[in-house]
């Protein structure tokens, strides 16, 4: 057999999948299409590393992909900036409130498009607190549009998009479960250093195929984390110490992960438990599992033994069918490169560095690249103020302090959450309801964790290669705060007439001092010679497997508005 072309690969998929299954699950074929060369920006073509096999090449490509997704210092700063704006806005009217970030930002496993999950501990127990905070966020221009308040959800939240950074934000109130879940995840990440890279790959795979939103039946990040953790815990070679994930084995493990959950795992009868070393249990014999529908995958919450964290994943069958297809594609691609570039038993041709294996199952859409570029352009235009608000490191409040000062409000929020969850559990066939904790139990919990100091974990990769891959060597001149570089005088002069300011005047109330606005200047953008935004320069592959040359974009008629007069 020769090297599979793109057309032949789809024929292989057609042969291995029954027709009925293909009609039901292969709906969004645009996400399985062959990517263009600019949609594989993580590929480092000038790499001189030598490989013994194609599967070893996959291991290092996973590291390259994670390094590309790694947030730059500027992207981290903008997330800190958004969090600080929200905190100041809420504290302007509620000085005793405390803000804590949980979820992917807390554990460091966030994607460029990930939401900011924030919990606000506040002494108000009114049902109208969501509407009051939502009005406050819109009034201070924190929210781009009027926030959405989900008051009838099991955990009431406020959803909105931050006005300037365009990050999606979810704010819940007086919920303590976010801290305990993040603490459990970080302890497992310390135990398995390579676990974070694998979680990032699968999260982006689900994001790429539109299967990552739990509100639409998709699979959330915590569910992905626990599935990958269970895979590591139950893998026989990892448990025996024969296979070490960091020793160039991430490629093998990724293929085996897709094989396990795409082909072998019986999610109709089996549930996952990650505590006490990890094990599989029968759904029918566990009280915490979701019985209806039976097609749901069930995973026990590591910090709450009565909670099924995957109860919202209603599209388990569709997700696992995508895992099956990813397994088939990776196996075909690895075998194809083995036949093409094998020189001798333990040596591959150096041209394999120019090939991508991950592009057979995912790619980087141009809109995501533009989204990240826009954050860096925004920084270049508002550098001084952005550094003032976002350059410092966020230190979350001690959880013991939260429990001591807000245990009444946490107990009230838990009571409402459990009442709503009990109604939902009766519909889903979950018969055991967790009892409500007393105030004494919260105070005992606070005394046990009084010495714990929480920190927000960094991304699994230490250094991002997004800027070099996107802008080339010129990124040092454009974003000199990313590296130790001298201040460019021309860029500084360019930004002095356009900056991001916080207004404050004596006649204003304390709540209106945090209004934000942009001061627009008449200066045109991108006029200096050193501000050059290079496209990713990538040649067409010799193999016609996946990478396609980017089609030329049509240029508009430049003389169309030649005589049009603009208001200066």
Last residue of one domain, picked from the residues 469, 486, 504: 469
Nearest to 352 by CA among 363, 341, 365: 341
The number of domains in the chain is: 2
Contact 530, 490 (CB under 8 A): yes
Q: How confident is the model at residue 429 (pLDDT cuts 50, 70, 90)?
A: low
Tens digit of each residue's pLDDT (9 = 90 or more) over 518-527: 333 222 322 2
Both 277 and 424 in one domain: the answer is no
**Residue 262 neighbours by CB distance under 10 Å:** 18
pLDDT of residue 48: 80
CATH of the domain at 81: 1.10.1410.10
**CA angle 220–226–113, rounded 5-degree value:** 35
Distance, CA of 469 to CA of 396 (rounded, Å): 33
Residue 408's domain spans which residues?
400-469
In a domain, 519, yes or no: no
In a domain, 203, yes or no: yes
pLDDT of residue 295: 81
What percent of the chain has a predicted confidence (pLDDT) above 70?
Answer: 73
Last residue of one domain, picked from the residues 444, 469, 494: 469
Which tokens hold the place of 304?
């709450």
In a domain, 27, yes or no: no
Residue carrying the six token digits 């709503």: 420
Last residue of one domain, picked from the residues 443, 469, 495: 469
Distance, CA of 287 to CA of 274 (rounded, Å): 16
pLDDT higher for 517 or 46? 46
Predicted TM-score of the model (pTM): 0.79
In a domain, 88, yes or no: yes
Predicted confidence (pLDDT) at residue 41 exceeds the cutoff of 70: yes
**Average pLDDT, integer, range 340-348:** 85
Tens digit of each residue's pLDDT (9 = 90 or more) over 242-276: 999 988 999 999 999 999 999 999 999 999 999 99
Distance, CA of 159 to CA of 146 (rounded, Å): 9
Both 312 and 436 in one domain: the answer is no
In a domain, 196, yes or no: yes
pLDDT higher for 552 or 372? 372
pLDDT higher for 168 or 531? 168
pLDDT of residue 57: 93
What percent of the chain has a predicted confidence (pLDDT) above 90?
Answer: 39
In a domain, 353, yes or no: no
Distance, CA of 104 to CA of 110 (rounded, Å): 5
- In a 3-state reduction of DSSP, which class is residue 567? coil
State the first-to-last Cα distance of the chain, in angstroms, to the nearest integer: 66
Q: How confident is the model at residue 474 (pLDDT cuts 50, 70, 90)?
A: low
| Mean pLDDT value across the chain | 77
- The winner for highest mean pLDDT among 24-38, 350-364, 379-393 is 350-364
């Amino acid at each position: 057999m020769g090297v599979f072309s793109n057309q032949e690969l789809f024929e292989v998929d057609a042969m291995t999948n029954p027709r009925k299954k293909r009609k039901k699950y292969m709906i969004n074929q645009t996400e399985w299409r062959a990517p263009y060369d600019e949609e594989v920006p993580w590929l480092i073509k000038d790499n001189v590393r030598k490989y013994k096999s194609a599967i070893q090449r996959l291991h290092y490509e996973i590291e390259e992909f994670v390094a590309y997704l790694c947030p730059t210092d500027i992207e981290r700063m903008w997330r800190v900036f958004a969090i600080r704006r929200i905190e100041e806005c809420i504290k302007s009217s509620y000085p005793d409130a405390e803000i804590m970030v949980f979820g992917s930002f807390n554990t460091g496993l966030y994607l460029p498009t990930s939401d900011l999950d924030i919990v606000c501990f506040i002494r108000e127990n009114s049902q109208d607190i969501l509407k009051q905070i939502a009005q406050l966020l819109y009034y201070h221009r924190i929210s781009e549009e009027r926030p959405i308040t989900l008051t009838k959800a099991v955990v009431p939240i406020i959803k909105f998009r931050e006005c300037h950074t365009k990050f999606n934000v979810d704010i819940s109130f007086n919920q303590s479960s976010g801290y305990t879940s993040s603490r459990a995840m970080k302890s497992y990440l310390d135990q398995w250093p390579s676990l974070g890279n694998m979680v990032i790959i699968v999260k982006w795979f689900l994001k790429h195929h539109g299967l990552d939103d739990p509100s639409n039946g998709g699979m959330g990040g915590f569910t992905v984390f626990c599935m990958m953790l269970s895979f590591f815990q139950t893998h026989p070679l990892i448990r025996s110490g024969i296979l070490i994930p960091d020793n160039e084995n991430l490629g093998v493990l990724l293929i085996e992960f897709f094989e396990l959950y795409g082909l072998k795992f019986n999610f109709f009868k089996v549930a996952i438990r990650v505590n006490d070393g990890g094990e599989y249990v029968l759904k029918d014999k566990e009280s915490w599992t979701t019985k209806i529908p039976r097609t749901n995958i069930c995973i026990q919450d590591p910090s709450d033994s009565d909670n099924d964290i995957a109860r919202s994943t209603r599209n388990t069958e569709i997700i696992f069918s995508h895992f099956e297809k990813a397994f088939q594609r990776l196996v075909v691609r690895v075998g194809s490169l083995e036949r093409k570039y094998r020189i001798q038993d333990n040596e591959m041709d150096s041209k394999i560095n120019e090939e991508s294996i991950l592009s057979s199952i995912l790619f980087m859409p141009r809109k995501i690249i533009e989204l990240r570029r826009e954050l860096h352009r925004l920084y270049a235009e508002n550098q001084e103020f952005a550094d003032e608000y976002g350059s410092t490191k966020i230190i979350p409040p001690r959880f013991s302090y939260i429990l001591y000062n807000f245990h009444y409000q946490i107990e009230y929020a838990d009571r409402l959450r459990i009442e709503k969850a009990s109604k939902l559990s009766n519909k889903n066939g979950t018969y055991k309801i967790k009892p409500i904790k007393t105030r004494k139990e919260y105070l005992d919990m606070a005394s046990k964790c009084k010495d714990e100091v929480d920190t927000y974990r960094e991304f699994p990769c230490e250094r991002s290669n997004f800027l070099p891959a996107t802008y080339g060597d010129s990124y040092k001149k454009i974003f000199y705060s990313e590296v130790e570089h001298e201040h460019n005088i021309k860029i500084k002069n360019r930004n002095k007439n356009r900056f991001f300011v916080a207004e404050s005047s004596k006649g204003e109330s304390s709540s209106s001092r945090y209004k934000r606005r942009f001061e627009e200047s008449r200066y045109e953008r991108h006029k200096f010679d050193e501000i050059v935004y290079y496209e990713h320069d990538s040649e067409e592959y010799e193999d016609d497997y996946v990478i396609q040359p980017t089609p030329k974009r049509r240029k508009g008629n430049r003389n169309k508005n030649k005589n049009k007069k603009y208001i200066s």
